[in-house]
Amino acid sequence: MTTTDTTAPDPDTTAADVAWDLEPLLDGATVEELLDRADGLAASLANLQGTVAELSSEALAEAMARFAELAELQGRVGNYVMLRLTEDVQDPERGAALMVVEERSAAMAAQLVFFDLEWAALPDERAEELLADPRLDFCAHHLRSARRYRDHLLSEPQERVLAEFEPSGTSAWVRLFNDLTSAVQVELPGSLGGTVGLEQGLSLLQHPDREVRATAAAAVTQGLDPGLRTRGYVFNTLLLDKATDDRLRGYPSWVSARNLANEASDDSVRALVDAVVERYDIPQRWYALKARVLGLDRLADYDRMASVAEDESTIGWAEATDLVLDAYDRFSPELAGIARRFVDERWIDAPVRPGKQPGAFCAYTVPSHHPYVMLNWTSRNRDVLTLAHELGHGVHAYLSREQGVFHQSTPLTLAETASVFGETMTNAALLERIDDPDARFALMAASLEDSIATVFRQVAMNRFEDAVHTARRDEGELSTDRFGELWGATQREMLGDAVELTDGYLTWWSYIPHFIGTPGYVYAYAYGQLLALSVYARYTERGDSFVPAYLELLRSGGSAEPEELGRIVDCNLGDPAFWAAGLQLIDDQLATATDAAREAGRIPTT
């Protein structure tokens, strides 16, 4: 007679009880009531049409204060319905609620497109005269940044039409893609979990057993196959949509709009990408070393994330949060206190659930509220670093609230600074607690691999985006095989001969959300990682005296251009040598990990 194990999973291991409380976002009102209040504000602001050029600085400040109030209302209700949907993207009621908010927000935006057009049309001298008034300090950088788009703005009727069509256009396709990827099922043997979601299937690529990794990779490929053509069609549609928008607005390249939003020139971004590509030797050397550590002649694609630890144990939520909060506390008790509020006050949603959106993120929400963090906790050791990463975003968002709704968020190029810094702090604190050479090597290897994934893999994905946007404009609609060819080519350029790409891996472009929702985003990871490593290097040099400057950077949010913000922590982002120096820090990580591998007896000492 066989018996079935009915033991419930340990809620600490699964983080089963770690769920956020979203109701405070509505501040005691209903979604409908907040939207009605927003509608009223939008209608009152619409009365300014035709008068922006005549506004005094005092009247402009009053108008911007009402725009801030409108953004707060829309941000509260928009984040509420969006975050509820991420809990279960297959719930039709939640999807319908999001669509209501998007439709009504689009209607408000259509009423107000005149403002940016009229503001951009002002002569530079008049704009600067107005912005010299201290009463506009709360929105001055935002207003200056808005004027950078003046060469790419369309007529008011055209902009109104585009705003009206947004909910049934790009936003709808992005939502469809998220629905499709959230529904992917990975069929694993029962001993590995049976039928699981994509996130859990991918997490097994870290498993120390190569047979498990190969099985998981094959199962992920099989799970991606049924909807491959549909996801490819979504991607094609959005590539065409962007090409059309870029052409109408006169952007010189597919990534120019993203660069403008990031307050970075096309030339500076190209310099960053070129600098990273020139150092592809770093990941290739690491993967060659890792093959030796794992006793392989050559890694396969499913081996790249494999843990080099001899025992890949699970870790519970309580232990993980203690580790991360301790690391934050050693740097700054103030940061640790904010991070603890995320843990204690239900600002995090952690468990893996059927239908939950894959991945992890931090939602800034609005300055009058607190941020939220979404995770998919699989109790792997790398989940600890993901927690540290997202809490970095969280404390950045929390500290920058004082900048107000116009300046709270940074450009994407600085958005990863605090998150990567948080990961690096956590790694450093863990290393100090470990005496076992093998465990130290495993942790150093994990830190190095995070740097490689964030810098080199993201730039390789940027090269893939460049290839597909170019090909879609030159060749027309792309087949899934063509996507796979371009994916494979750009991945091989980064991996060289160090890693063998299997045929199944050529479809794995098809689940990455950044290509769909935020085209051009991925290079910002490399930018942020290299900046954060440089910032952390300054901390190691200067110790506690560096902490106030770092906190000032976080509190500054997006209130100035990236280069000005970088100067707060003594980083010259305008110097091309800055990127080379950051890449050398990763090379140094590789040297340290190599020495640790020798000390642990994982490779020969000669």
Helix pair 156-165, 92-121: axis angle to 10 deg: 170
**pTM, two decimal places:** 0.82
Contact 238, 173 (CB under 8 A): yes
Would you state the pLDDT for residue 528? 85
**In which element (H, E) is residue 233 found?**
helix 228-249
Would you state the pLDDT for residue 411? 85
For 30-76, the pLDDT digits (tens) are 999 999 999 999 999 999 999 999 999 999 999 999 999 999 999 99
Tell me the pLDDT band of 208, cut-offs 50, 70 and 90.
confident
Would you state the pLDDT for residue 31? 97
Would you state the pLDDT for residue 318? 95
Q: Is the pLDDT of residue 270 over 70?
A: yes
Q: Is the pLDDT of residue 90 over 60?
A: yes
Tell me the pLDDT band of 24, cut-offs 50, 70 and 90.
very high
Which residues contact residue 325 at a Cβ distance below 8 angstroms, ignoring those fewer than 6 apart?
336, 339, 340, 343
Would you state the pLDDT for residue 501? 96
Mean of the pLDDT values across residues 236-252? 96
Mean of the pLDDT values across residues 451-473? 96
- What does each C-alpha distance from 286 to 312, 420, 531 come to in angstroms? 20, 20, 22
Q: Is the pLDDT of residue 1 over 60?
A: no
Handedness of CA 196, 202, 207, 211 (dihedral sign): positive
The pLDDT mean for the chain works out to 93
Q: Is the pLDDT of residue 311 over 80?
A: no
Q: Is the pLDDT of residue 542 over 60?
A: yes
For 520-536, the pLDDT digits (tens) are 989 988 988 888 888 88
- Which domains are delineated in the chain? 23-174 (1.20.140.70), 264-308+412-606 (1.10.1370.20)
**Measured distance CA(521)–CA(519) in Å, rounded:** 5
Q: Is 151 exposed, middle or buried (0-12, 13-18, 19+ CB in 10 A)?
A: exposed
For 350-381, the pLDDT digits (tens) are 999 988 988 899 999 999 999 999 999 988 77
For residue 377, the SS3 value is: strand
**Measured distance CA(182)–CA(465) in Å, rounded:** 22
Would you state the pLDDT for residue 432? 82
Question: Smallest Cα–Cα separation from 568: which of 405, 353, 418?
Answer: 418
Give the count of beta carbons closer than 10 Å to the beta carbon of residue 171: 18
Would you state the pLDDT for residue 3? 41
- What does each C-alpha distance from 474 to 59, 471, 490 come to in angstroms? 49, 5, 18
What does residue 116 show for φ and ψ, rounded to 5 degrees?
A: -60, -35
Tell me the pairing of strands 348-351 and 299-300: unpaired
**Measured distance CA(32)–CA(48) in Å, rounded:** 25
Would you state the pLDDT for residue 606? 60
Handedness of CA 62, 64, 68, 73 (dihedral sign): positive
Tokens linked to 82: 């969006």
**Measured distance CA(131)–CA(61) in Å, rounded:** 9
Q: Is the pLDDT of residue 2 over 70?
A: no
Q: What single DSSP character describes residue 10? A: P
Which residues contact residue 278 at a Cβ distance below 8 angstroms, ignoring those fewer than 6 apart?
none
Q: What single DSSP character describes residue 477? A: S
